[in-house]
Amino acid sequence: MTAPKTVTVLVVDDNPELLNVFIEGLPLAGDFTVLTASDGSKGLEAYYAHRPDIVVIDLIMPELNGYQMARSLRGDPISADVPLILFTALPQDHTEFASFAAGGDQFLTKPVIPRELAAAINQALLISDQERTQRLRRLAEEDDR
Partner 1 sequence: MKSLFQVAVAKPERFQIFAAAQRHVRRLRVIPFVLAGLQTALVTGLTLELNTQTLSQAARVLMIVSWGSCLVFWGAAIGAQRRADALSREVATMRQQADLAWQVDELKDQFIAAVNHELRNPVMAMMGYLDIIDMSLGLNKTERLPKQVAAAVRVGYGMRDLINSILDTRRVDQSADTFVAEAVDVQTALETTLDLLGPREQFLKGHALRITIPVQLAIWGEPVLLQQILTNLLTNAVKYTIPGTPIDVEARAIHVSSRRHARRLGESGTVEIVVRDYGLGIPPNQIPLLFNRYVRLPRDLASRTMGNGLGLHLCKVLTEAMGGRIWVESTGISGEGAAFHVQLPGPPAP
Long-range Cβ contact pairs of 1-6 (< 8 A, separation 24 or more)? 4/31, 5/31, 6/31, 6/32, 6/33
Amino acid at 123: Q
To partner 1, the closest distance from the beta carbon of 135 in angstroms equals 20
Residue 93 vs 141, nearer CB to partner 1: 93
Residue 47 vs 87, nearer CB to partner 1: 87
Residue 27 vs 127, nearer CB to partner 1: 27
Q: What residue ranges bind partner 1 (CB under 8 A)?
A: 15, 17-18, 21-22, 24-25, 28-29, 89-93, 109-115, 145
To partner 1, the closest distance from the beta carbon of 141 in angstroms equals 14
Residue 62 vs 75, nearer CB to partner 1: 62
For residue 30, what are the contacts with CB-CB under 8 A and spacing of at least 6?
7, 118, 121, 122
For residues 97 and 63, what is the distance between their CA atoms, to the nearest angstrom? 22
